[in-house]
Amino acid sequence: MKKKYSKAELPKELPVFPLSNAIFFPKTLLPLNIFEPRYKQMTEHALEKDNLIGMIQSNQKVGGNNIPEVYDIGCVGYIEYHSNTPDGRYLINLKGVSRFKVEKEIETSNMYRTFAVNYDDFESDLNDEEKLELNTLDLIEKTKKLFNKHQLSTDWKIVEKVEPSQLINSLAMICPFTISEKQRLLETMNIKERNDVLNQIINFYILGNNEENRNIH
């Protein structure tokens, strides 16, 4: 895998996979099971070119021609691993590279969607991760309560050994939040702000998740 990118090396036109209720951060890993023809084509084209695919959330609104609208901010990932299954699917692992901002959608003859993007606000994503001195035990304990409330499970022994920034990004990805809450986490400027927002959202969930209490946007 290519270890580091500069902003100049990232494409200004990006094939994008809109996926509701899923966020993806730089330096995290996202496994995907690709079975729809349009996304199989996208994967094939990416593997032939630069191995880069953008992930972005649909905002659940429908635009012209009944095409789902997407949020402004997504994350580009590098196909670190791929394999083909006997029934024609692709199994891929995407490694997060940088967030991007959508400028406009580009019409092409491909089955998948392509967007003009820029990375101007996210150059810090391309740098080495900021080392955080955070006590994450409280965050982990609160997340355990959240998971128990939603009857979810994970290997907490592994979670407790993860360094703080990776822990914050991973929990932001896997916690059972709404689409807008996950998008708010993605759009935080840095890991410290993301930690604050993550704690805030979890607090609202474990104290009571009615809509009035969760109106934190």
Task: Tell me the residue length of the chain.
Answer: 217
Q: Is 100 helix (H, G, I), strand (E, B) or coil?
A: strand
- Distance from C-alpha of 108 to C-alpha of 207, rounded to nearest angstrom: 48
Question: Which stretches of 85-132 are DSSP H helices?
Answer: none
* C-alpha 198, offset from chain centre: 14
User: What was the pLDDT predicted at 130?
Assistant: 64
Per-residue H/E/C for 56-84: ECEEEEECHHHCEEECCEEEEEEEEEEEE
Pairing of strands 13-18, 52-56: parallel
58-69 pLDDT tens trace: 887 766 667 889
7-126: CATH architecture: Roll (2.30)
pTM: 0.87
Q: Where, residue-wise, is CATH 2.30.130.40 in the chain? A: 7-126
Pairing of strands 29-34, 90-106: antiparallel
CATH of domain 137-207: 1.20.58
- Distance from C-alpha of 45 to C-alpha of 41, rounded to nearest angstrom: 6
Q: Where, residue-wise, is CATH 1.20.58 in the chain? A: 137-207
Long-range contacts of 59-64 (CB under 8 A, 24+ apart): 59/179, 59/183, 60/20, 60/179
Beta bridge partners of 91: 33, 83
97: phi then psi, degrees, rounded to nearest 5: -110, -60
- Distance from C-alpha of 217 to C-alpha of 202, rounded to nearest angstrom: 14
- Distance from C-alpha of 50 to C-alpha of 193, rounded to nearest angstrom: 32
- Distance from C-alpha of 65 to C-alpha of 68, rounded to nearest angstrom: 9
Residue with tokens 């609160």: 142
Q: Is 93 helix (H, G, I), strand (E, B) or coil?
A: strand
Enter the tokens of residue 148: 């128990």
Stretches in the chain below the pLDDT threshold 70: 1-3, 62-65, 129-132, 209-217
* C-alpha 20, offset from chain centre: 10
